[in-house]
Amino acid sequence: MGRLAPSPTGALHLGNARTFLLAWLSVRSRGGTLLLRIEDIDGPRIKPEAAQQTVEDLCWLGLDWDGEIVVQSERRERYAAAAARLVAAGLAYPCVCTRSEIEGAASAPHEAGDDGPVYPGTCRGRFGDLAAAKAASERDAALRFRVEVDAVPFVDAFAGAQPGRVRGDFVVQKRDLGPAYQLAVVVDAAAQGVTEVVRAADLLPSTPRQLLLYAALGLVPPTFVHVPLVVGVDGLRLAKRHGDTSLRHFRERGVRAEQLVGYLAFLCGLRPRGGRCMPRDLLAAFQWASLAPASVRGDDHGLLRG
């Protein structure tokens, strides 16, 4: 059982589309079930119209899914309940530190990781619960997971053995009571019975934290398959500066789904450049070994000239 988990922060671009194609091929080539989950809890970055756009883009690409679409913003109680369980078990605690306080406490700049500086543990053991934290500090408190290890080594089904470094206690519930991404995806994957997570390699650093949460909540983690990023011609992660690589942009310029999927198949090592196909045409020959282990350069030239 796999899943597509788009964040509706804007139109799908080539990189997302390639990851979704791979997730779809991995599951569908084995006759498995694929779910669609809209990850719309990331506050201000979420664009209301983007969820519908994402669904349309997936349909246009010829990617389908099974069952009802799951929408994270409708599942807040589940995340809150999981966070409360972590607190009750002594594995998470209220934290009232602001980002600038944490930055100020970090002893050296090299402590800064992907998510900013390592949390120095200021609020560990300080407050009994959220209400006590608020009463004492006059601030809304987040909940932070207590990390007692330096690493959670794991084997990724595509990227191989990972050291799985974990750097400090991390937030599982924000101060507005909304779930942090790390907790929401773990709760959802377990509730939905997801056994395979195919996603882009930029989420590799999140995986050890998620593995800690699976263990803390007594849940079985899925198999992780992190696929290399699609990068721009400069080798950097595909972004706005590389021009518009959104599917909408290509569609508006008359690019057909067969051309775009053909290009994605080329980026997956499944077809030569310039071919046309739909996802179902790739099922019979799909194998992970075709995918290059390093990041792949994606551009719009072939598509818009073609």
Query: Among residues 6 and 94, whose Cβ is nearest to ligand GLU?
Result: 6
Residue number with the smallest Cβ distance to ligand GLU: 199
- Give the shortest CB-27-to-ligand GLU separation in angstroms: 14
- Give the shortest CB-279-to-ligand GLU separation in angstroms: 19
- The DSSP-derived string for 46-101 is --TTHHHHHHHHHHHHT----SPPEEGGG-HHHHHHHHHHHHHTTSEEEE---HHH
Query: Among residues 202 and 244, whose Cβ is nearest to ligand GLU?
Result: 202
Residue bearing tokens 């246009």: 60
Query: Among residues 174 and 199, whose Cβ is nearest to ligand GLU?
Result: 199
Query: Among residues 185 and 257, whose Cβ is nearest to ligand GLU?
Result: 185
The whole-angstrom separation of Cα 142 and Cα 248 is 37
Task: Give the neighbor-by-neighbor strand order of the sheet with 142-145.
Answer: 92-95, 142-145, 170-173
- Give the shortest CB-57-to-ligand GLU separation in angstroms: 13
Please say whether the beta carbons of 144 and 133 come within 8 A: no
The whole-angstrom separation of Cα 133 and Cα 137 is 6
- Give the shortest CB-172-to-ligand GLU separation in angstroms: 15
- Give the shortest CB-133-to-ligand GLU separation in angstroms: 29
The whole-angstrom separation of Cα 139 and Cα 137 is 5
Query: Among residues 7 and 259, whose Cβ is nearest to ligand GLU?
Result: 7
Residues lying near ligand GLU in the complex (CB under 6 A) are found at: 5-7, 39, 185, 197, 199, 203
